[in-house]
Amino acid sequence: MALVGLNGYIVEVEADIGQTLPAFVILGLPDASLNEAKERIRSAAQNSGIPLSRRKITANLIPASLPKRGSGFDLAITMAVLRAANDIRSTERTVFIAELGLDGRLRPVRGILPAVMAAVQAGYADIVVAHANAAEAELVPGARVRGYRTLARLACDFGADPQELALDFEPDDEDSSDAAASGAGVAPDMCDVSGQGDARRALEVAAAGAHHLLLSGPPGVRSKVSMRKRGSGPTTSPRSPVKSRGGQNRPSVPPLECRRLKVC
């Protein structure tokens, strides 16, 4: 899944294993973090007991004209390569969204809600994510979500030889919980800010009208005030929790400058 703002687009991953010198090529406008997936995938597969072929591997992300960003494509590329080598059975219409650790664990990624929503709307109901993202992905109606902690367990469920897999490795979720829980917890409140009447007033107006706000001043003051915007907004309707959390969970985008307020 490729995200552009809150809009998700289905990305098909195909892989080919050639007869030339060893190499790993990713096509389809990958960014820097996605290009680095080659080393993550090789190490994760090796440490999971299913090493990749030593021949030339070419992974193509379709549509090629759509820019691909982030590490969420790691798992989809890995499964496509393993399928090309006949190490696993066909994945059919399953969507894979997760980052790979070098030890073979599946790490959570941001933007999981809009990605799963777009997949279900496009007719892809079977979703595989990291275990830390599973509860959030299950919020989407119609999604059949499976969460895994390791690549070895996932490959085993898709037909890989269990005797070769590192099935005894079961990492804890504590190391990867920060990314999954970045939008959870108690929102900071404006009562924590002393003084700064102009800044508080501007923040309340911006939150009430969903306006952009640019603060200028000492770093500590700006951060403390701006973090309270989430807790200053109107109460969200209980009928739209998925849409609301999808907005909080989206990849970061630069804000638009609407008003400049100097904070002393």
Residue percentage of the chain with pLDDT more than 70: 73
pLDDT(212) > 50? yes
Q: Where in the chain is the domain with CATH 3.30.230.10?
A: 2-180
Q: Which residue has the higher pLDDT, 17 or 252?
A: 17
- pLDDT single digits (tens) 135-154: 999 999 999 999 999 999 99
pLDDT category, 211, cuts 50, 70, 90?
confident
pLDDT category, 156, cuts 50, 70, 90?
very high
The whole-number pLDDT of residue 165 equals 93
pLDDT(124) > 80? yes
The β-bridge relationship of strands 94-97 and 23-27 is: unpaired
Residue percentage of the chain with pLDDT more than 90: 56
- pLDDT single digits (tens) 86-123: 999 999 899 999 999 999 999 999 999 999 999 999 99
SS3 per-residue string spanning the chain: CEEECCEEECCEEEEEECCCCCEEEEECCECHHHHCHHHHHHHHHHHCCCCCCCCEEEEEEECCCCCECCCCCHHHHHHHHHHHCCCCCCCCCEEEECEECCCCEEECCCCHHHHHHHHHHCCCCEEEEEHHHHHHHCCCCCCEEEEECEHHHHHHHCCCCCCCCCCCCCCCCHHHHHHHCCCCCCCCCHHHCCCCHHHHHHHHHHHHHCCCCEEECCHHHHHHHHCCHHHHCCCCCCCCHHHHHHHHCCCCCCCCCCCEEECC
- CATH tag, 2-180: 3.30.230.10
- pLDDT single digits (tens) 173-201: 555 545 444 444 455 666 666 676 777 78
The whole-number pLDDT of residue 5 equals 74
pLDDT-wise least confident of 32-46, 71-85, 214-228, 248-262: 248-262
pLDDT(67) > 50? yes
The whole-number pLDDT of residue 214 equals 76
The whole-number pLDDT of residue 174 equals 54
Instruction: Quote the pTM value.
Output: 0.71
Q: Are 187 and 230 in contact (CB under 8 A)?
A: yes
Q: Chain-wide mean pLDDT for the chain?
A: 81
pLDDT category, 252, cuts 50, 70, 90?
very low
The whole-number pLDDT of residue 138 equals 95
The whole-number pLDDT of residue 259 equals 41
pLDDT category, 216, cuts 50, 70, 90?
confident
The whole-number pLDDT of residue 72 equals 94
